């Protein structure tokens, strides 16, 4: 699609191609919401988003879930402004958030090396949740550091640098309603 060259949100920045358009994302998010509704017939459910990348996905996802739930966020960053992982993972979360006895669904935008998620899953599993699962919008399948299964997945992602629908490059492009690969 060449429509992106005319998109004022891009500030003239060339986008290689749209990997996932808004309609395709919305359809898949509806399916994931229904899957979550089915998967958790009882118990307390806490949907825990990894900031900042998951904020749009999580916002759309929870509105497709037809059961009670709570929402909270953690910050885990392994990327600065660089396009490749530094290997450093920093976690910031509210230690008062009760996880014990709850179903925890960790929502991530994209799995690349898997370092961020593995570190976070290690920390969360020590807090005695009733269950602990990963829901990721995108998975590049290059995650040599991921020691946990991805229970719910939106799409297999190309091994390209993607922006939009929450994903950024140097904090830009998170507000694109589609997911595009950057030149």
133 binding partner (options Mg ion, ligand IMP, none; Cβ < 5 to 8 Å by kind): none
The span from the CA of 109 to the CA of 50, in Å, is 8
**Least Å from the CB of residue 83 to ligand IMP:** 8
Position 136 contacts ligand IMP (CB under 6 A): no
Catalytic residue among 60, 112, 133, 168: 112
Q: How far apart are CA 6 and CA 46, in angstroms?
A: 40
List beta partners, residue 138: 110, 155
Q: Which of 53, 129, 154, 164 binds ligand IMP (CB under 6 A)?
A: 53
Cα–Cα distance for residue pair 36/135, rounded to 1 Å: 9
Report if residue 114 touches ligand IMP, rule: CB under 6 A: yes
Concatenating the DSSP letter of every residue in 71-134 gives EEEEEEE--SSSSS--S--EEE--TTS--TTSEEEEEEEEESSSHHHHHHHHHHHTT--SEEEE
Stretch that binds ligand IMP, among 24-32, 57-65, 127-135, 160-168 (CB under 6 A): 160-168
Which residues of the shown chain bind ligand IMP in the complex (CB under 6 A)?
Answer: 53, 78-79, 85, 108-116, 161-162, 167
Footprint of Mg ion (CB under 5 A)? 79
Q: Which residues are annotated as catalytic? A: 112
């Amino acid at each position: 699609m060449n429509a992106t060259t005319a998109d004022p949100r891009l500030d003239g920045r060339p986008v290689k191609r749209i990997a996932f358009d808004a309609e395709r994302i919305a359809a898949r998010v509806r399916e994931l919401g229904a899957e979550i509704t089915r998967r958790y017939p009882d118990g307390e459910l806490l949907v825990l988003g990894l900031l900042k990348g998951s904020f749009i996905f999580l916002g759309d996802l929870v509105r497709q879930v037809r059961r009670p739930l709570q929402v909270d966020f953690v910050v885990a960053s392994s990327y600065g402004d660089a396009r490749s992982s530094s290997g450093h993972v920093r976690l910031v979360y509210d230690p008062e958030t009760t996880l014990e006895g709850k179903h925890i669904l960790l929502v991530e935008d994209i799995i690349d090396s898997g370092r961020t998620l593995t570190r976070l899953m290690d920390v969360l599993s020590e807090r005695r949740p009733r269950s602990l699962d990963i829901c990721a919008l995108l998975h590049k399948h290059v995650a040599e550091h991921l020691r946990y299964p991805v229970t719910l997945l939106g799409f297999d992602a190309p091994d390209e640098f993607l922006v939009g629908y929450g994903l950024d490059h140097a904090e830009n492009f998170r507000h694109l309603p589609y997911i595009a690969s950057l030149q």
